[in-house]
Amino acid sequence: MKIPKRLQPLVEDGLVDEVIGRLMSGKEADVFTVRCGGQVRCAKVYKDSMKRSFKQAVTYQEGRKVRSSRRARAMEKGSKFGRKQQEDVWQTSEVDALGRLATAGVRVPKTYGCVDGVLLMDLITDESGGPAPRLGELTMTAEQAREGHEIMMVYIKRMLVAGIVHGDLSEFNVLVDEQGPVVIDLPQAVDAAANNNAEAMLARDVLNITRYYGSFATELLATKYAKEMWTMYEEGRLRNETPLTGLFEEPTEAVDLGGVLREIASAIDEEEARLARLLEAETDAGSG
């Protein structure tokens, strides 16, 4: 096939020997199968920000750290240089997330570097050597659904322990090979501790996966893994080895709003009295 413009520099530099074909076109990137030496791999070509259809990118970027203060200021101002830096952060964040999750025990594609907006990584294949199907393309028995769901809940837990929430997880960005699920597409992954939307995103990730597996094993729809995981995460009790039950008991005690307001009023009164005492002491000292 004709070599896409964005892949041409990688071919010229010898990083890619042959572009085999287009594998898929997504909302933030196009993916091609390429040959690198004797290996067939993926080349994920990120789309320019103006061409991406990924919504609410700013929501996902909250909490991402930039080491250079100059880059951070440029990104805040939205200058041409700043927009370029924002694109670099968007792309390299996926490489960082994939590396951290692999270390955490989550099955993700192995990466081979990100060059000029192109991420090289392993091609996940089926038993015949072709591209592995997405989870959403599969049908399964109730037992297979329960097993797959359990694996995915463990992966989501391990992501959270590593401080990462996928943010866009569903049956469409999980591949399934002979060994089971493989999580893909992480440029929008968020910092669980620094992003104010992390809890809501975790809940949505879990809901999406549970709804799909639950269409084959309906009892899964009653589980509450997201609340269980987030509660333990906030309390500092979540570990890779922490067992999950899918159970979570909602607080039953009604909030004593009147009591809360009284405590606030009392605190205000105490602060005003403290300031009055300080002012009186300063006045006495001045008159003396």
Question: Active-site residue 168, yes or no?
Answer: yes
Which pairs with CB-CB distance under 8 Å and at least 24 residues apart come from 6-15? 6/45, 6/116, 6/117, 6/118, 7/32, 7/34, 7/43, 7/45, 7/118, 9/115, 9/116, 10/43, 10/115, 10/116, 10/118, 10/120, 13/115, 15/113, 15/115, 15/120
Question: Catalytic residue among 30, 168, 191, 205, which?
Answer: 168
Q: Which two tokens stand for residue 247?
A: 């159970």
d(CA 276, CA 262): 21
d(CA 115, CA 71): 19
Question: Catalytic residue among 88, 116, 126, 185, which?
Answer: 185
Question: Active-site residue 126, yes or no?
Answer: no
Active site residues: 168, 185
